[in-house]
Amino acid sequence: MCREGAWLMPASEVPGQDPVIRRARQNFYMSIFAGLTVLPVLCQALLSETPPSGPNENVMTDFKWALSMSDSDLFDLTCCTLCPRNCRVNRAAGNVGYCGEPADLYAARAALLKWEEPVITGPVGSGAIFFSGCNMGCIFCQNYKIANTKAFDSSKHPAGIRVTPEHLSEIMLRLQDEEKATNINLVTPSHYLPVIVPALERAKDNGLTIPVVYNTSSYEKAEALKRLDGLVDIYLPDLKYVSSALSAKYSKAPDYFDIASRAIAEMVRQQPWPLFADGSHSLDEEDDADDPVMLKGVVVRHLALPGQAEDSRRVIRYLYETYGSRIFISIMNQYTPMPQVKGDPELDRRLSDEEYESLVDYAIGLGVENGFIQDGKTASESFIPEFNGYGLD
Ligand code: SF4
C-alpha cells in the first residue's frame, strides 16, 4: 500500500501475477459522497427505540408487480423481515418500521456523481440513485436529510419522490444512454430490494450493460444479498465498526459486525476478484494514465470517526487478514459533525490530521496494498448534493 497524494492502490494476489503497489493521484473530492452513504446509519438520535408503525393511506400500488418477481419470504413486505431489524410491519399497507419507508420506493436524486473513488467515478461520473430512508440510523448521519424519514405521512414524503419499479429501470437506462454514466450506483438500497431487484432485471432486459454498484451500510442479511447474485457487479459496502459497544451506541445495532461481516463475505463470494476495464485485476503503479474503470469487485469503505482509532484499526485489520488483496479498502477522513451531534463530547469535532495519518500508517504497516485514502480537507457539508428530486422525473 502506498500513500502520498491520495489513494492507495492495488496490488493483486491473482494467481500468476506479481503484486504491484501503485500510487495514484488523488481526487480531492473522492469520497465525499461515500461518507454520505456510510452515514445513512446515523440518524439514530432522530429515531425511536422501537420501530414505529401505524396506519398509512399510501398503499403501494406497484407492490404486487414487484412481488411477482419473487417467491422469497424475505421479500414479503406485508410482514417485513427484509433486514436484521425484523420489524414485521406491513409496509405494503403503508406502515413503516425502523427504516422509515413503506413498500413504495422513494428516491431523492438520480444524477452523475464525481466524488466516488476514481475507479468508480470513471471519466464522466457514477450514475448515483439516492434512495430515501435507512435501516441503520447512525447518530452522526451525514445523509440525515434523506435517511431520516420516520416522519413519513400519507400526504407528503419528507425526503423523496415516489418512483415505480418501471420508472426506476427507465432512470437507469437514461443514466446509461443519455448521461453516459460509468455505472449505476444504488445508494442505500437494502430496504427497497423487493422493488430494486425486478427493476434491475427489467433494465437489463432492456439494454442496461454498464456495471451495477451496490452501495450499502452492510447491515443486511446475507440471504437477501443472494438475490443480487448476477445482478450486481461491484459491491461498495461500509464496515463501520467491530466493537458491538460502539455500534450499539452510535447505531443501535449491537450485532452490526456480525451481520456486516457475513454480508461482506457474501459480496466477496459473488465478486471474488477485482476486474478493471483494461482487463487487469490490479492497478498499475507505473501507469500515469487515468485509472481504469472498475467492472467488478468489492471496495469496502471505512469512515474513520474521531476518537475511535482502536476500532478503526480493528476494522482494517479484519478486512486485510480476511480478504488480503481480493478487495480494496477505502479509508475515509471526511467525517463531518452534523447538527444532530452538536455538543456531543465525542462526535462534535472533525477527525484530526494526526488521527487519519496514524490510521493510514497502520494500514501500510499491516501490508495493505489495495486501498484508497483521501487527501485534503474533504470533510465539508458543502459537498453534500442537493436531495431535491433531481433526475427522477
Ligand atoms: S427493511 Fe425496514 S421495515 Fe423491514 S425489517 Fe428492515 S428496518 Fe424494518
Three-class secondary structure assignment of 63-119: HHHHHHCCCCHHHCHHHCCCCCCCCCCCHHHCCCCCCCCCCCCEEEEEEEECCCCHH
Low-confidence spans in the chain with pLDDT less than 70: 1-72, 145, 148-159, 285-289, 376-384
Closest Cα to atom 6 of ligand 1: 83
Ligand 1 centroid – CA 244 distance (Å): 20
Closest Cα to atom 5 of ligand 1: 86
Which of 108, 89, 98 has its CA nearest to residue 37? 108
Give the model's pLDDT for residue 50.
33
Give the model's pLDDT for residue 25.
28
Give the model's pLDDT for residue 119.
95
Ligand 1 centroid – CA 106 distance (Å): 15
Which of 382, 391, 368, 355 has its CA nearest to residue 125? 391
Give the model's pLDDT for residue 305.
97
HSE toward the beta carbon, residue 53, CA cutoff 13 A: 17
Please provide residue 284's backbone torsions phi and psi, each rounded to the nearest 5 degrees: -85, 120
DSSP state of 302: E
Which of 149, 45, 40, 51 has its CA nearest to residue 104? 149
Give the model's pLDDT for residue 157.
61
Nearest atom, ligand 1, residue 91 CA: 3
Ligand 1 centroid – CA 6 distance (Å): 37
Distance CA 158, CA 145 (A): 9
Give the model's pLDDT for residue 99.
95
Residue 97 in domain: no
Asked if 126 and 112 count as a contact pair (C-beta separation under 8 A), the reply is yes
Residue 91 in domain: no
Sequence-separated (6 or more) residues with CB below 8 Å from residue 46: 137, 144, 148, 150, 340
What number of helices (H) and strands (E) belong to the chain?
11, 10
Residue 23 in domain: no
Give the model's pLDDT for residue 349.
96
Please provide residue 390's backbone torsions phi and psi, each rounded to the nearest 5 degrees: -55, 135
Nearest atom, ligand 1, residue 133 CA: 2
Give the model's pLDDT for residue 16.
30
Q: 354: which 3 cell numbers?
A: 494526526
Asked if 142 and 44 count as a contact pair (C-beta separation under 8 A), the reply is no
Distance CA 152, CA 168 (A): 21
Residue 11 in domain: no
Residue 151 in domain: yes
User: Ligand 1: residues whose CB is within 6 Å?
Assistant: 51, 80-83, 85-87, 89, 91, 97-99, 135, 191
Nearest atom, ligand 1, residue 87 CA: 8
Ligand 1 centroid – CA 133 distance (Å): 10
Which of 225, 219, 221 has its CA nearest to residue 196? 225
CATH of the domain at 166: 3.20.20.70
Q: How many domains does one find in the chain? A: 1
Residue 322 in domain: yes
Give the model's pLDDT for residue 290.
72
Please report, for residues 181, 267, 318, the alpha-carbon distance to residue 271 in angstroms, rounded to integers and kept in the order given: 21, 6, 19
Q: Which domain holds residue 254?
A: 32-56+105-383
E strand segments, the chain: 106-113, 126-131, 161-162, 184-187, 212-216, 234-237, 275-276, 294-303, 328-332, 371-373
Residue 46 in domain: yes
Give the model's pLDDT for residue 147.
74
Give the model's pLDDT for residue 285.
64
Closest Cα to atom 4 of ligand 1: 80
Residue 227 in domain: yes
- The pLDDT tens digits of the residues spanning 282-306 come to 887 655 567 799 999 999 999 999 9
Distance CA 46, CA 76 (A): 27
Please provide residue 372's backbone torsions phi and psi, each rounded to the nearest 5 degrees: -130, 140
Give the model's pLDDT for residue 348.
95
Ligand 1 centroid – CA 76 distance (Å): 11
What distance separates the 2 farthest-apart alpha carbons in the chain? 60
Give the model's pLDDT for residue 151.
44
Asked if 75 and 126 count as a contact pair (C-beta separation under 8 A), the reply is no
DSSP state of 8: B
Most informative mutation of 44, 76, 79, 80 for ligand 1 (most atoms within 8 A of CB):
80
Asked if 354 and 307 count as a contact pair (C-beta separation under 8 A), the reply is no
